[in-house]
């Protein structure tokens, strides 16, 4: 396995490939994404350790969406069983994926713990357990600091785990090595990754502005409320689809097909 350095413009290509692949199998890809969301939501609802379980399942679940994108890119119909690709792998890869999930949960909870130093844990509780965001809470300086600290700290955590599930599954890398190689790949291709993320932010911003413009011209706030959520969910599904291509082009070697 060797790192492949790509030009910055590849970031736009990844976005385009993700959107095109999604629309090759729109019903299957959107259905799999909603199943992914349902699994995460139901896991988080379990008492006591539900949020921790959801965090542990996230690497394996995102791997399932990447596997679905791979199937669709090859002209195949991704079936629901693709979401549990990590569980259908060999014992060694399943064990490493479990370790990866545990490490991700520890890292994320560590970030939430650090954010609690600024607001007494309000942001962490709302994020992990749920609750109502009041205007007073949102405007609180401690809450805002905790939110921005969490966001900034999540960026390196995301880089550590961005390619890690795919490296465990398709390249049989141990969990710790996959995290290291994921960070190296993200740093090595930081220009392309930056363009990739900025392109998605731009598209989502343009979509939001378009919906608000239509609602304004129609003089109906209901149009925005009806259109915004489903379109944002579809955009999220396309984003996850595109993540497969960031992995595929960042490494040189034939992965283990599974």
Q: Find, among 241, 103, 242, the residue nearest to 168 by Cα.
A: 103
Within 8 A by CB and 6+ apart from 25, the residues are 72, 77, 78
Q: Residues 200-243: pLDDT tens digits?
A: 999 999 998 888 888 787 777 777 777 788 888 999 999 999 99
- What is the number of other CB atoms lying within 10 angstroms of the CB of residue 134? 9
Supply the pLDDT for residue 104.
97
Give the DSSP letter of residue 81: G
Supply the pLDDT for residue 159.
96
Please, what is the average pLDDT of the chain?
90
Supply the pLDDT for residue 254.
58
pTM: 0.90
Residue 24 has pLDDT above 80, yes or no: yes
Mean pLDDT over residues 80-91, rounded?
Answer: 89
Residue 25 has pLDDT above 70, yes or no: yes
- Which two structure tokens, joined as six digits, stand for 191? 């220009």
Q: How far is the C-alpha of 251 from the C-alpha of 163, rounded, in Å?
A: 10
**Residues linked to residue 251 through DSSP beta bridges, in sequence order:** 3
Within 8 A by CB and 6+ apart from 26, the residues are none
- Which two structure tokens, joined as six digits, stand for 181? 């190689």
Q: How far is the C-alpha of 225 from the C-alpha of 10, rounded, in Å?
A: 34
* β-strand pairing of 2-3 with 251-252: antiparallel
Q: Residues 125-171: pLDDT tens digits?
A: 888 877 777 778 877 888 889 999 999 999 999 999 999 999 999 99
């Amino acid at each position: 396995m060797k790192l492949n350095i790509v030009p910055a413009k590849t970031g736009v290509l990844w976005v385009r490939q993700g959107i095109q692949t999604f629309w090759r199998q729109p019903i299957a890809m959107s259905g799999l994404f909603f199943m992914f969301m349902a699994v995460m939501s139901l896991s988080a609802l379990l008492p006591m350790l539900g949020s921790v379980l959801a965090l542990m399942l996230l690497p394996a679940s995102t791997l399932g969406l990447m596997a679905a994108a791979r199937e669709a890119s090859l002209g195949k119909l991704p079936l629901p069983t693709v979401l549990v690709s990590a569980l259908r792998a060999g014992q060694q890869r399943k064990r490493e994926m479990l370790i990866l999930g545990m490490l991700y949960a520890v890292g994320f909870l560590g970030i939430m713990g650090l954010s609690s130093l600024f607001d007494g844990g309000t942001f962490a509780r709302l994020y992990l357990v749920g609750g109502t965001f009041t205007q007073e809470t949102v405007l609180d300086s401690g809450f805002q600091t905790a939110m921005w600290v969490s966001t900034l700290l999540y960026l390196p955590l995301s880089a550590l785990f961005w390619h890690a599930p795919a490296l465990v599954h398709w390249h049989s890398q141990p969990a710790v090595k996959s995290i290291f190689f994921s960070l190296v790949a993200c740093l090595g291709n930081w220009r392309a990754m930056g363009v990739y993320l900025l392109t998605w932010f731009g598209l989502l911003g343009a979509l939001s502005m378009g919906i608000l413009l239509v609602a304004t011209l129609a003089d109906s706030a209901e149009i925005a409320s009806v259109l915004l959520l489903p379109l944002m969910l579809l955009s999220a599904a396309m984003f996850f689809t595109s993540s497969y291509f960031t992995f595929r082009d960042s490494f040189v070697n034939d992965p283990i097909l599974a």
